Amino acid sequence: MNDWVGCLGSDRVPTPNIDSLAQRGLLFTNAHAPSPKCAPSRAAILTGKRASTTGLYSNSHWWRPAYPEIVTLPHYFKNNGYYVAGGGKVHHHTDGFNPPDQWDEYSPLIRDQDLVVGYFKNRGEDRRYFTEAMPRHPNNSLDWGAMEVDDLEMGDGETVRWATDFLSREHEKPFFLAVGLFQPHLPFYAPKKYFDQLPLDQVEVPINLPGDLDDIPPGGQKMAASRREDLRMIEEYDNLQHTVQSYLASIAHADTLVGILMGAFDNSVYRDNTVIVFWSDHGYAFGEKDHLAKDTLWERSTHVPFIVVAPGVTTPKSRSSRPVDLTCLYPTLTQLCGLPLPRGLDGVDITPLLRDPNLYWDKPAIIDFLHGNTAIRTEDWRYIRYDEDRAGEELYNLSEDPNEWRNLIQESPDSASPFRRWLPSSYAKEVPTKGAYIFDLETYTWKAK
């Protein structure tokens, strides 16, 4: 989910439940994913360690075989006396891989890809945008459209149903509950009612400014080119406006599920003594800089919703523009719950900002993507360095240029000096990919091939 939510100033799609959640506590308006891709972002959030520290740079890198002894955020709470439950998409690599040491219970992710196949098969119909419109594409999740189903009939509906049941139960121990919503995620399918609320002729497509890539160095050009063939196929076989409409409908669907979950929370006995955190693993582009999806170090791919409601700590209806990245979750939650701060975390404890959102804050958000590439985001600026030898740099003043259309690095190279000091001193070697290991389902252990 990118930053297209009402509480962050977007009017593209109504998000009343997420907006209402933001009103309960503190909304960070300048929060960023630690990496603009699913697996490295979630690995960094759940381990508290950046990709540049671990070498977990891409979706092909699985954290557990690379670091079998690492204690993740849920595992840490379990080790400290909490009952730990998870459901849906929490770790990126979820299917068949939720070892018992991580959770006391887990509700498996139900992928919408599988539901979509069954839905159209039962109706005697084809998935138009996969089987007919884009027959050349091998990825069966590059698809979108409406389904005549209720919210709870989608994959995330089962996760929310499980979570609401969990909240209705009496728990002897304090609990850590992770509810992983898959939406909005390809395939962009959602209940038809949201499409009806978002007429196609009213859907605004992001601006793809001609010549926007002219001042981008080779590292940025390469990232922008990824998934461009998908963007071209959308333009050829359908239209980008329809894809954006489906993404917005998926956000509206996710928002409704947040409302159902929060309703169950409010009806529970836990509402007054439980910390709530709402976050997204990265943003998503729809044509900006001639790019589709994530996988870049620009604002669209990294800026995410981030809300914290901590009873007795955060102030309702508060906002902070201080830059944070989501590696902060591990140290911050341990501090809020009075647990010892684990050693060796890269993430910064933002508890002081929870108490005083306008506190002086000199720490930036730090975002890694692939080996040697990092973005530094401050209150007003974004600096990007590609490759360890500084083969390419970008610098943007987002207070004046929120779309990042003007790379200032050539005009003012010395202005980047304050940001360079936050770059990683070194980048960990990429860990072996999943294909280098064999996973034993009986022992939940990995062995090298």
Q: Looking at residue 372, what is its pLDDT?
A: 95
Write down the domain spans for the chain.
6-366
Q: Which two tokens stand for residue 83?
A: 């009952």
Residue 31's beta-bridge partner residues?
324
Average of per-residue pLDDT values in the chain: 92
Q: Looking at residue 26, what is its pLDDT?
A: 98
Is the torsion defined by CA of 183, 384, 308, 358 positive or negative? negative
pLDDT tens digits, residue range 91-120?
A: 988 655 566 788 999 999 888 877 887 888
Q: Looking at residue 444, what is its pLDDT?
A: 64
Q: Looking at residue 131, what is its pLDDT?
A: 44
User: Residue type for 380, please?
Assistant: D
Helix (H, G, I), strand (E, B) or coil at 21: helix
Note the helical H segments in 112-207: 112-122, 155-168, 192-197
Record: fold of 6-366:
Alkaline Phosphatase, subunit A (3.40.720)
CB 141, CB 186: distance < 8 Å: yes
pLDDT tens digits, residue range 413-432?
A: 899 999 999 999 999 999 98
Place of tokens 């793809």: 208
Distance CA(87)–CA(368), nearest Å, equals: 27
Count the helix, strand and coil residues of the chain and give each as a percent rounded to the nearest 5: 35, 15, 50
Closest CA to 144 of 253, 40, 223, 60: 253
Closest CA to 287 of 298, 277, 278, 303: 298
Note the helical H segments in 25-154: 38-47, 51-54, 63-66, 73-79, 112-122
Distance CA(292)–CA(244), nearest Å, equals: 11
Low-confidence ranges of the chain (pLDDT < 70): 94-99, 127-141, 388-391, 441-444
Helix (H, G, I), strand (E, B) or coil at 384: strand
